[in-house]
Homo-oligomer: A and B are copies of this chain.
Amino acid sequence: MEQLHTSLAVEKAAQSKIDQVDFSKLVFGKNFTDHMFICEYKDGKWQQPRVVPYQPITLDPSAKVFHYGQAVFEGMKAYKDANDDIFLFRPEENFNRINKSSERLAMPAFPKDYFFEGLTTLLKLDKEWIKKGNGNSLYIRPFVIATESGVMASPSMEYTFMIICSPVQSYYGGEVKVKIADYYSRAANGGFGAAKAAGNYAGQFYPTKLANEEGYQQIIWTDDATHEYLEEAGTMNIFFRINDTLLTCPTSDRILDGVTRKSVIAMAQHMGIDVEVRPIKVSELVEAANNGSLKEMFGSGTAAVISPISGFANKDQFWELPKQESPMAQQIKQAIVSLQYNETEDPFGWRVKVD
């Protein structure tokens, strides 16, 4: 890719708005830092990358993102250790995935140096927004939207790549009861469920609302053809502990290749836990729940790292999971979180210092 512009332009905010934010009462993803990264694509290339004060964007009502859903994103986090050093967790995974998502949606790849120079500059400018202490972090949202005007249903010729950042606290979702999908689906075989694309989320809200009304917080998605195989938990990947084995299904066209998912697998193996990655049937889960071998279920994702599930419903039946003295979910979460906050060694090379 030809790169006309190699240096990042930086315009600092006249005044920080950090004093207006109560960091003890953060709502997930509601407050944003003083700056944002932005880079526009037109005439076949990415233009000057810029860090500018956080501000609204203006688009024509016919911009393609509003009509044809060409929009992909990532979720990642920055952490501060006791020495005020800032760390990212496996950021190359997110960079690679946003370009993979873009490809599936016929959108152009973003240059790696633009991504990392932009992200690093942004984090340094807004470093006061990253608070120390367990659970505090900066949620980072890179995203790309189609901005060309015109309502012809074809790929946009213009895009905007942005990174916005939001300070967050430890995410505790409470007791999560889930319902196994037996009618609605998240993704098609041969579709774009593996992409982190905007369109994969809108379709989940209505079935989830129906599940909420029945008393369940999330849906366990199953394969759309038969609803016999377990696939994802809400917007997270899913894990099952049967006796002392940790199970999760393989990624596919329909399943997101989660960074936390692969970190959980690697960390569990590192901890000596037996991990099986294979298709898992709803009927196997029900059988394990009935015979007492199902010990734990949890979702994995950037926001919560691991979100334990307390029980599941399949059709008209509900199973409460047994309480564990030392849940595997908690042990793995602690190991990953300690690594993220630079409290332990990093045998994997996952932690990347921002400097």
A residues touching B (Cβ–Cβ < 8 Å)?
Answer: 27-30, 32, 36, 54-62, 65-71, 73, 75, 103-106, 139, 141, 143, 145-146, 149-155, 162, 164, 166, 181, 183-193, 197-203, 205-206, 208-209, 224-227, 235
Q: With a CB–CB cut-off of 8 A, which chain B residues contact A75?
A: 151
Give A192 to B208 CA distance when docked, in angstroms. Answer: 14
Q: Is the CB of A141 within 8 A of B151?
A: yes
B201 to A150, Cβ gap below 8 A? Answer: no
CB-CB nearest 4 A-B residue pairs: A199-B199, A69-B198, A225-B225, A106-B205
In the complex the two chains form, is A68's CB within 8 Å of B201's CB?
A: yes
Question: Complex: how many Å from CA A205 to CA B70?
Answer: 9
- Besides A66-B71, A198-B198, 12 other A-B contacts (C-beta < 8 A): A27-B152, A54-B61, A56-B59, A65-B65, A66-B143, A67-B73, A67-B198, A68-B201, A69-B201, A75-B151, A106-B206, A224-B225
Chain B residue nearest to A206 in the complex (CB): B106
Q: Answer whether A191 and B190 are a contact pair too, CB < 8 Å, given A57-B58, A58-B58.
A: no
For A73, the chain B residues whose CB sits under 8 A away are 66-67
Q: In the complex, A154→B30 CA distance in Å?
A: 12
A–B Cβ pairs within 8 angstroms, 17 of them: A30-B149, A32-B61, A36-B61, A66-B73, A67-B71, A69-B202, A70-B202, A75-B151, A105-B206, A106-B208, A139-B151, A187-B191, A190-B224, A191-B203, A197-B199, A198-B199, A224-B225
Q: Does A205 contact B60, Cβ atoms closer than 8 Å? A: no
A105 touches B205 (CB 8 A): yes
State how many copies of this chain the complex holds: 2
Given contacts A36-B61, A71-B202, A206-B105, contact A66 B145 (CB under 8 A): yes
Collect the chain B residues with CB atoms within 8 Å of residue A181's CB.
190
Complex: A224 Cα to B8 Cα, angstroms: 44
**Partner of A185 from B153, B164, B190, B203 at Cβ < 8 Å:** B190
Chain B residues closer than 8 Å to A235, beta-carbon distance: 153
Across-interface contacts of A146 in B (CB, < 8 A):
202
Instruction: From the candidates B69, B139, B208, name the one contacting A200 in the complex (CB within 8 A).
Output: B69
CA distance A146 to B145 in the complex (A): 14
CA distance A311 to B164 in the complex (A): 48
Is there an interface contact between B206 and A103, defined as CB atoms closer than 8 Å?
A: yes
Report the Cα distance A58→B106, complex, angstroms. Answer: 25
CB distance from A144 to the nearest CB of B (A): 9
Instruction: State in angstroms the CA–CA spacing of A205 and B205 once bound together.
Output: 24
Kindly list chain B residues whose C-beta atoms are within 8 Å of the C-beta of A71: 65-67, 69, 202
Residues of B within 8 A of A186 (CB): 188, 191
A141-B62, A188-B187 known; A68-B202 Cβ under 8 A? yes
On whether the beta carbons of B199 and A200 are closer than 8 Å, the reply is: yes
Q: Do A166 and B141 contact each other (CB < 8 Å), given the known contacts A202-B68, A202-B199, A203-B199? A: no
Across the interface, A56 reaches (CB within 8 A) one of B60, B67, B187, B209, namely B60
| Separation of A205 and B197 alpha carbons in the complex (Å) | 13
A59 to B61, CA, bound (A): 11
